[in-house]
Amino acid sequence: MSPTPVPLLDLRTQYGAIEAEIRAAIDKVVQSQQFILGPEVEQLEREIAAYSACRFGIGVSSGTDALLVALMSLGIGSGDEVVTTPYTFFATVGCISRVGATPVFVDIDPLTYNIDATKIESAITRRTRAIMPVHLYGQMAEMDLIVDLARRYRLRVIEDAAQAIGSEDNGKRAGSISDLGCFSFFPSKNLGAFGDGGMVTTNDAELAERVAMLRGHGSKAKYYHKYIGGNFRLDAIQAAVLRVKLKYLDGWTAARQRNAATYRQLFTAAKLTTDNGAGSSGAPVALPHEAAGGRHIYNQFVIRVGTRRRDGLIDHLKRANIGCEIYYPVPLHLQECFRDLGHKPGDFPESEAAAQQTIALPIYPELTEAMQRAVVQSIADFFTR
């Protein structure tokens, strides 16, 4: 057992460092008594848009609602198909289904866990309206290939960037390359609120106006409704918290990247991995792959071990008071609620293998080297016992 518990995430330490600023920001909103939308939200929208190299940001109530309203703004619905990945959080595919469209799955790249862009074209049909890549674990999908395909087939692109604020692909920021980018501010994200929150980014003024109207029941002027929208508005308190945290985001990202580099050194020193990952030269652990030309922000640090050892390692880590998590244990094509899509085990083997072999380890900015040594030592103990 680790002498000191190593949690998967520790938000208390982060809060302790900025508590005074957070409380002052919240108090300012409380004094204003303007709790939904308003100046704090508008300022956050401008700041997130600028940070993401976009013209417009539209604050919404969650990352899920960002995806939903993005689909709605493009008029995607019954009879339409949206190409996406089965290896992601439920919201990606759930929102496609909620608007009445059909998700069409493409398997993942086994190194990055993102949608395999080279396989997308074969999934496009006359009913395809959009491609929804997911920038998983803080690393962007191959957007140049995806955008090129979209242009050739006259499709829309929605980036699910819930885990990827500030990540880059060949110098381009997440959320800036497509028609619409969708971000989540769930508390565990790199930029996390004190509850749910999200943002839609775009460079298209017409789409920005439509999203802004749809988040408020399709209305621009009160009581006059152009569209049937929803209640997807962002709370001002969440915006105030996020504005404080945004100032620290690049520093926190740099700390996550340093922690990732430390893990690589420690795993290599312990002879638990090689450059070629699990299975090479008998090494039991594959470390996260960083694609060339990218900026990986490490929302998660996900290792890969053999299918037969994964669950045993998780039990071992938990007994040692070391936090870990499986993202995601059941790919979406095998979820009961999507049974009508007609998929079966084996249809998307890379997604299924990732679901059976991956473990997320602690990577948050405040993680100490001593804590990381405890994590790696515990894994070494498991494989050498």
What pLDDT, in 10s, does the model give residues 20-30? 999 999 999 99
Q: Which amino acid is at 63?
A: G
The gap from C-alpha 344 to its chain's centroid, in whole angstroms, comes to 26
Helix H or strand E encompassing 302: strand 301-304
Closest CA to 51 of 162, 166, 143, 158: 166
Residues 6+ apart with CB under 8 A from 274: 280, 281, 283
Contact call for residues 86 and 351 (beta carbons, < 8 A): yes
216 lies in the same domain as 259: no
Same domain, 144 and 272: no
Domain boundary among 230, 246, 262: 246
Burial of 337: CB neighbours in 10 Å, binned 0-12, 13-18, 19+: exposed
Domain-embedded: residue 1: no
Neighbour tally for 232: CB within 10 Å: 24
Express each pLDDT in 12-53 by its tens digit: 999 999 999 999 999 999 999 999 999 999 999 999 999 999
CA angle centred on 205, ends 199 and 209, rounded to 5°: 65
Alpha helices per DSSP H over 106-194: 143-153
Amino acid at 45: E
In a domain, 43, yes or no: yes
pLDDT, tens digit, for every residue of 198-213? 999 999 999 999 999 9
User: Are 55 and 151 members of one domain?
Assistant: yes
Instruction: Give pLDDT, residue 181.
Output: 98
Domain count, the chain: 2
Q: Is the pLDDT of residue 275 over 90?
A: no
Same domain for 254 and 229: no
Q: Are residues 285 and 138 in the same domain?
A: no
In this structure, is residue 3 part of a structural domain? no
Boundary residue ending a domain (211, 246, 281): 246
Q: Is residue 2 part of a domain?
A: no
Q: Is residue 213 part of a domain?
A: yes
Question: Is residue 201 situated within a structural domain?
Answer: yes
List alpha helices for the chain, DSSP H. 11-32, 39-51, 63-73, 90-98, 143-153, 205-214, 236-246, 249-269, 307-319, 349-357, 369-384
pLDDT > 70 fraction of the chain, expressed in percent and rounded: 97
Same domain, yes or no: 235 and 337: no
The domain boundary, picked from 180, 211, 246, lies at 246
Residue 327 three-state SS:
coil
What's the confidence (pLDDT) of residue 2?
54
Whether residue 211 is found in the same domain as residue 321? no
Residues 41, 98, single domain; the answer is yes
- Residue 6 located in a structural domain: no
Q: Are residues 55 and 84 in the same domain?
A: yes
255 band by pLDDT with thresholds 50, 70 and 90:
very high
Residue 379 reports pLDDT greater than 60: yes
The CATH number of the domain holding residue 31 is 3.40.640.10
Q: What is the pLDDT of residue 277?
A: 44
CATH code of residue 367: 3.90.1150.10
Are residue 299 and residue 320 in the same domain, yes or no? yes
| Contact (CB, 8 A) for 76 and 128 | no
Task: Look up the domain containing 62 and give its range.
Answer: 11-107+114-246
Contact 278, 51 (CB under 8 A): no
Mean pLDDT of 244-261: 98
Q: How far apart are alpha carbons 348 and 104 in whole angstroms?
A: 12
Please indicate, yes or no, whether residues 216 and 281 belong to a single structural domain of this protein. Answer: no
Q: Is residue 4 part of a domain?
A: no
Same domain, 362 and 344: yes
